[in-house]
Amino acid sequence: MWKHIASNFLTLFIVALVALGGFLAWAQGQYRTEGPLETAICVQVASGATMRRVSQNLVDQGAITNASIFRVGADYSDKADDLKAGSFLVPARASMEEIVDIITRGGASTCGTEVVFRVGVNGQRIEVRELDPETNRFVVREEFDPVEEPIGAFYQEVREEADTRYRVALAEGVTSWQVVEALKTADFLEGSVEDIPVEGSLAPDSYEIRAGESKAELLAEMAEKQELRLAEAWANRVDGLPLASPEEALILASIVEKETGVAEERRTVASVFVNRLNRGMRLQTDPTVIYGVTEGRGVLGRGIRQSELRAATPWNTYVIEGLPPTPIANPGLASIEAALNPEETNLLFFVADGTGGHLFAETLAEHNANVAKWREIERERQQQSDN
């Protein structure tokens, strides 16, 4: 009898093991197989959230089919205690295994609300945007000038949310004074700035930051990036340039930056200035005159006067020989590279063409003809505005 009972127990035990093995194989397959999501979603993990709460949230959003399998898989892979707070983009058809990796990997949030503080030549703007998971594109929800306009209601709302991300976007061609003045209005940054950074020393770029980060730390990061960019471009410069140091290259790059907003023209504009320097000709560029008037503290906001073209300032290249003593703005990487790898030309002159670009010339006669064309365009525009 006991043998019969033992035999039956052994049989049941074996069946149970087989069933358990089958269940584990099925569960493992569920954990690793393609998920049910038809479109990407943004999953928010609150600070202090548990894997149980997150797994139920994922079930509610249709990202997973079984919260228990999700938690067991996370525990089995030793990631159950590694949840990271933030907003994370979960792509369509992501498996449970992939989702666990996404929400425990760490690093910056990949979706949700982002506040972008844009520092431009003509001022600053705050842009509040959200990533649309389906299109993977940002949708602007609100934007305003923090100096000239009321603070946006949506901005005030997201400022209170822990997973809101922040970014400072520095435009090419802004001056260091403009950057510091703009950062004074960034209420998500802490601290003050005692001194204005050296002109040209800040790298125009987009910087992801933390709320509460110090303004001094952000400026230091900008300066470090510009230093690295300049060093690499200087190391890769072409031979024969009339530039004695990286600092002179930065000065020339800043002039190129302010002379053209057309990317395809940068190396051509740089070639004109290099050719003039090689021939001992004055650069005669208007942005240096403007900097001599404003010293980078704001925008001139009007045309240059004849008296200003003749005024002897350290930056007025109609008066001084060679390069001015400092940059006249913070140039971007493309302008730095253009200054150190200009196009090979015989060009010595250029003037606006009325479309945002320039007409270039090798001789003064050609240049005078181009100037005449530009003045005719100006006359036509004036007549249209008068009418």
Per the structure, the complete domain to which residue 295 belongs is given by 237-386
17 or 79: which leads in pLDDT: 79
- Residue 131: partners with Cβ closer than 8 Å, 6 or more residues away: 42, 89, 110, 111, 112, 114, 137, 138, 139
355 or 340: which leads in pLDDT: 340
Nearest 10 degrees: CA dihedral of 46, 49, 52, 56? -20
Number of helices (H), then strands (E), belonging to the chain: the values are 13, 9
Predicted local distance difference test score (pLDDT) of residue 377 = 83
Which has the minimum average pLDDT: 56-60, 125-129, 178-182?
Answer: 56-60
162 or 220: which leads in pLDDT: 220
CA distance 308 to 145: 32
pLDDT digits (tens, 9 = 90+) for 311-330: 999 999 999 999 999 999 99
**Does one domain contain both 192 and 104?**
no
Structure tokens of 160? 């209170």
Half-sphere exposure at residue 30, Cβ-oriented, CA atoms within 13 angstroms: 18
Residue 15 forms part of a structural domain: no
pLDDT digits (tens, 9 = 90+) for 103-127: 888 766 777 889 999 999 999 999 9
Q: Does the pLDDT at position 85 exceed 90? A: no
Q: Does the pLDDT at position 225 exceed 70? A: yes
Where does a domain end: 230, 246, 267? 230
**Does one domain contain both 241 and 373?**
yes
Q: Does the pLDDT at position 135 exceed 90? A: no
The DSSP secondary-structure symbol of 304 reads P
| Average of per-residue pLDDT values in the chain | 88
**Does one domain contain both 244 and 382?**
yes
CA distance 164 to 158: 6
Rounded to an integer, the average pLDDT of 126-155 is 89
**Does one domain contain both 79 and 152?**
no
Where does a domain end: 186, 204, 230? 230
The DSSP secondary-structure symbol of 264 reads G
Rounded to an integer, the average pLDDT of 172-177 is 97
The pLDDT confidence band at residue 162, using thresholds 50, 70 and 90, is: confident
Total domain count for the chain?
Answer: 3
**Does one domain contain both 196 and 87?**
no
Give, in degrees to the nearest 5, the angle at Cα 83 between 79 and 85.
165
Where does a domain end: 182, 200, 230? 230
Predicted local distance difference test score (pLDDT) of residue 287 = 96
Predicted local distance difference test score (pLDDT) of residue 275 = 98
**Does one domain contain both 256 and 137?**
no
Half-sphere exposure at residue 31, Cβ-oriented, CA atoms within 13 angstroms: 19
Predicted local distance difference test score (pLDDT) of residue 11 = 57
**Does one domain contain both 354 and 251?**
yes
Residue 364 forms part of a structural domain: yes
Residue 48 forms part of a structural domain: yes
CA distance 291 to 174: 12
CA distance 167 to 160: 16
134-170 burial, b if ≥16 CB within 10 A, otherwise e?
Answer: eeeeeeeebbbebeeeeebeebeebbeeebbbbebbb
CATH number for 53: 3.30.1490.480
Residue 13 forms part of a structural domain: no
- Residue 5: partners with Cβ closer than 8 Å, 6 or more residues away: none
**Does one domain contain both 92 and 203?**
no
Predicted local distance difference test score (pLDDT) of residue 115 = 94
**Does one domain contain both 178 and 288?**
no
Rounded to an integer, the average pLDDT of 89-100 is 84
Q: Does the pLDDT at position 12 exceed 80? A: no
**Does one domain contain both 126 and 41?**
no
Half-sphere exposure at residue 101, Cβ-oriented, CA atoms within 13 angstroms: 8
The DSSP secondary-structure symbol of 216 reads H
Residue 7 forms part of a structural domain: no
**Does one domain contain both 271 and 182?**
no
CB-based contact 272:359 (threshold 8 Å): no
CA distance 179 to 172: 11
**Does one domain contain both 259 and 318?**
yes
Q: 333-340 and 246-259 are packed helices; what angle lies between their axes, rounded to 10 degrees? A: 120
Residue 222 forms part of a structural domain: yes
Residue 354 forms part of a structural domain: yes
- Residue 111: partners with Cβ closer than 8 Å, 6 or more residues away: 42, 87, 88, 89, 131, 133
26 or 30: which leads in pLDDT: 30
